[in-house]
Structure 1
Amino acid sequence: MKINKISVIISAILISASTAACFTIHKNMRSKPSENLSKLGNITEVTSTSKTRDLNSIIHENQKSVVSLEVKNGSKSTTGSGFIYDKKGDIVTNAHLIKDRLPIIIRMADTKTYRGKLLGKSEITDIALVRVDALKGKNPMKISRDKKADIGDEIIALGSPLGPQNTADIGIISGSNINFSLENYQYKNVYQISVPVSSGNSGGPLLDKNTGQVIGIISTKADNKSVGFSIPINQVTPMLDSWSSNTNTTEFSTQNRDSYENPKPSTKNAVYLVSYFYSSLNSKDYVTAYSLLGSGWQGKIPYENFRKSYLQTISVKTDNMLCHQMENGSIEVSASIEALEGNETNSGTNTYNVIYTIGYENNSLKILSGKITPAKQQ
């Protein structure tokens, strides 16, 4: 859907892929620990107090709790977004995405895939709650239970409109207390927002840009495709909490229950995983980045050595990204890398050529291996 954007789109993970070429960001990776962390001398961890870094941190941290949701009906499927609501593994989404008795597939930011069960679904308000037992204990998003947003408040809209993608858009609350009906659902006192709302964005969280807390559920778009709407979260938390406490759940049909499991990664998902890996590194989230490596690679480099090898990285750029499907089903990803390394007072740019192998390990997509070779300085 085309929307008039009030401000520039912030995308923590930018993805475009085809069978021939794809784009991502990168930092040099080594398959073995390096004793000399930088030729620039002793490097200390770079920190930043800039607003850009703060915004990127809010986006990155919250995207870990945003999910891509798919409801399968034979060969057809409905896709949307959702987010982790509590530590019970409950996920908030839109009711119009959920079809009773059909499989609910949840994909996390790290591409791990789970089956969900329906806890509650409203026939009037466009909200639903799905539980994934395997996500019990995972950090939920911070919910603003009391705040009512005002017109002009800056917001961040998160979602996965094209499957595992994790886009982020910046905008404002452009209207409030909007009332209308759509497909038998009653939207009362909802927010009008100035960011895109596609079918895949439905169910994603709307954040307060200053606090990073959830203030709404992205739900639908206007017929003229110029605005979107979000249900205020504080209107529905009593209903969500009631469903969460109810032990009666609706299981989906077990027919073709494993049909979503794909032992061969797509080029799109391979590019996404590499992008998410480097987005994590750029956000100094080394734990998440390390978790995306295959067990074989992790066995060669302990976490602390992995973390230290990236403390010198300030920023990275990439070019000439190519993707190749291998005979065993894995994806080979290659790129040219430009890395600014050092600290804010002592830094230099180095270029590298890299190759990665992306594949599944225990039904989770991983970066299985990689190698790096220095390139001529530009």
Structure 2
Amino acid sequence: MRNRIWAGLIGSVLILGAGSAAGYAIKTEMPKQLNGSPLLAVGEVKKSLKDIIFETQKLVVMIEADTGAQGSGFLYNMNGDLLTNAHVVAGVRHVKVKTSDARILEGEVIGISTDTDVAVVRVKELEGTQPLPIARYEKGEVGDDVLAVGSPLGFQNTITTGIISGVDRSFQIEPYSYKGLYQISAPIAPGNSGGPLVDLATGAVLGINSAGLEEGTIGFSIPLPSVLAMAEGWSKRPMTMLPNLSLTEGTEVDANEDSLDQLAGYLVTHFYDSINSRDYVYAYSLLGGNWKESTSYAKFREGYLTTRNVVIDDMHVSMSGDEATVTAVLSVDERRNSENVLSKYQVTYKVGYENDQLKLLTGKGKSIKK
């Protein structure tokens, strides 16, 4: 069931970072340092969210190309080198780099892949600047708290937070092959491409934000361990000739009735994944405004405190206008009277768009007698 739901999402995924240019639809042991980038040492006091945001923002830039493409990048070594996505800088040698302290600098593309959506841009003025801490080997896991930093829609250094909601996601769009991606709940939009995905526990960069659903509720990030060796190779030996790489122009794919049923089913699955991960705050954020008005967060959370695990046994999605009805049969492992009990429920949700975000508008459930 999950595979069918996942497959239906691919038609609604976008590469981000086109800025004013058209979007591109997709069919389809921790080290202590890296190039002077120290990770959080064992026993070190955990930084506050505000500290992590501030320190990260300083080293994230906006990248603009003459092609009209606009994205993000972040400093990853002491040479003044930025990691970004290949589709942000495809077809150009030099780009304009805007820093957090309002400087406008020139960057040179010194490495770009024709099959992996990764590139390196060197900015001489940033040489010697302490880069962001990098997670070279450590991989994120489902449920890890993360933040995404970038310049969505031209709004520089925008911060969004969420969790890693899936791992090992893969799809392909010529000429790029995306493999082993993080799926994230932190909202991202065009212009986020090339920005860092940061682990809130350590402040280290886990990945490069690269693509997302147009609705902004689901994003995808390339894990750093899979591309660091390639990037470091370019930093040591810059390309003298760049490949003639350009993207076919296209238009963004709107979520319409043909895909809403798939997205609605996925949202319900994602909701219960959040419950299983005990991320009640995120699960609550998936509810529509009217539902939240009638159910406080405290009441919502209390209702799931005895729930140990939820498995979706069956799911049916039907469409009615611009809303979807999702009916699912659940097997719920819950705690009752100091005992673990396996119960069956049937739940029905109305799913639709609210302020351009897909939400669970209403929901009800009933117990199924064995």
**What is the TM-score with the length of structure 1 in the denominator?**
0.50
Which of 102, 108, 131 is the aligned partner of 2:99? 108
Identity %: 44
Which of 190, 193, 213 is the aligned partner of 1:199? 190
Q: Which amino acid aligns with 1:207?
A: V
Which of 35, 52, 60 is the aligned partner of 1:58? 52
> Does the residue aligned with 1:140 lie in a helix, a strand or coil?
coil
Query: Take 1:166 and 1:121, find their aligned partners in 2: how far apart are those partners?
Result: 24
Higher relative contact order (CA 8 A, sep 6+): 1
Matches within 5 A, 1:233-252: 233-249=224-240
Partner of 2:357 in structure 1? none
TM-aligned CA deviation for residue 182 of structure 1: 2.4
> Does the residue aligned with 1:57 lie in a helix, a strand or coil?
helix
Query: Take 2:153 and 2:188, find their aligned partners in 1: how far apart are those partners?
Result: 12
Partner of 1:334 in structure 2? none
> Does the residue aligned with 1:146 lie in a helix, a strand or coil?
coil
Query: Take 1:218 and 1:200, find their aligned partners in 2: how far apart are those partners?
Result: 10
Matches within 5 A, 1:116-131: 116-131=107-122
- Work out the number of aligned pairs and report it: 198
Which blocks of at least 5 consecutive residues in structure 2 are unaligned? Answer: 1-44, 243-370
Which blocks of at least 5 consecutive residues in structure 1 are unaligned? Answer: 1-49, 252-378
- Is 2:224 the counterpart of 1:230? no
Q: Does the CA contact (< 8 Å) of 1:117 and 1:250 recur in 2?
A: no
Q: Which amino acid aligns with 1:182?
A: I
| 1:291-315 deviations in Å (ceiling 9; x for gaps) | xxxxxxxxxxxxxxxxxxxxxxxxx
- Seen in structure 2, the aligned counterparts of structure 1 residues 101 and 159 have a Cα distance that, compared at 3 Å, is closer
Query: Take 1:117 and 1:145, find their aligned partners in 2: how far apart are those partners?
Result: 24
- Seen in structure 2, the aligned counterparts of structure 1 residues 63 and 225 have a Cα distance that, compared at 3 Å, is closer
Partner of 2:150 in structure 1? 159
Q: Which amino acid aligns with 1:231?
A: I
- Seen in structure 2, the aligned counterparts of structure 1 residues 101 and 157 have a Cα distance that, compared at 3 Å, is closer
Q: Does the CA contact (< 8 Å) of 1:111 and 1:164 recur in 2?
A: no
Q: Does the CA contact (< 8 Å) of 2:142 and 2:165 recur in 1?
A: yes
Q: Does the CA contact (< 8 Å) of 1:81 and 1:159 recur in 2?
A: yes
| 1:69-109 deviations in Å (ceiling 9; x for gaps) | 00013xxx111000001010000000011133353111100
Q: Which amino acid aligns with 2:198?
A: L
TM-aligned CA deviation for residue 162 of structure 1: 3.9
Partner of 1:29 in structure 2? none
TM-aligned CA deviation for residue 243 of structure 1: 0.5
Partner of 1:189 in structure 2? 180
Matches within 5 A, 1:348-367: none
Which of 87, 93, 98 is the aligned partner of 2:78? 87
Query: Take 2:175 and 2:214, find their aligned partners in 1: how far apart are those partners?
Result: 16
Segment of structure 1 superposing worse, 124-133 or 98-107: 98-107
| 1:328-377 deviations in Å (ceiling 9; x for gaps) | xxxxxxxxxxxxxxxxxxxxxxxxxxxxxxxxxxxxxxxxxxxxxxxxxx
- Seen in structure 2, the aligned counterparts of structure 1 residues 250 and 67 have a Cα distance that, compared at 3 Å, is farther
Q: Which amino acid aligns with 2:180?
A: N
Q: Does the CA contact (< 8 Å) of 1:101 and 1:250 recur in 2?
A: no
Q: Does the CA contact (< 8 Å) of 2:184 and 2:220 recur in 1?
A: yes
Q: Which amino acid aligns with 2:220?
A: F
Query: Take 1:198 and 1:132, find their aligned partners in 2: how far apart are those partners?
Result: 25
Q: Does the CA contact (< 8 Å) of 1:80 and 1:201 recur in 2?
A: yes
| 1:273-294 deviations in Å (ceiling 9; x for gaps) | xxxxxxxxxxxxxxxxxxxxxx
TM-aligned CA deviation for residue 111 of structure 1: 1.0
Partner of 2:124 in structure 1? 133
Query: Take 1:193 and 1:241, find their aligned partners in 2: how far apart are those partners?
Result: 26
* Alpha-carbon RMSD: 2.0
Q: Which amino acid aligns with 1:169?
A: T
Partner of 1:44 in structure 2? none
Query: Take 1:248 and 1:178, find their aligned partners in 2: how far apart are those partners?
Result: 30
- Seen in structure 2, the aligned counterparts of structure 1 residues 136 and 195 have a Cα distance that, compared at 3 Å, is same
Partner of 1:27 in structure 2? none
Query: Take 1:242 and 1:102, find their aligned partners in 2: how far apart are those partners?
Result: 18
Query: Take 2:155 and 2:219, find their aligned partners in 1: how far apart are those partners?
Result: 21
**What is the TM-score with the length of structure 2 in the denominator?**
0.51
Segment of structure 1 superposing worse, 175-184 or 158-167: 158-167
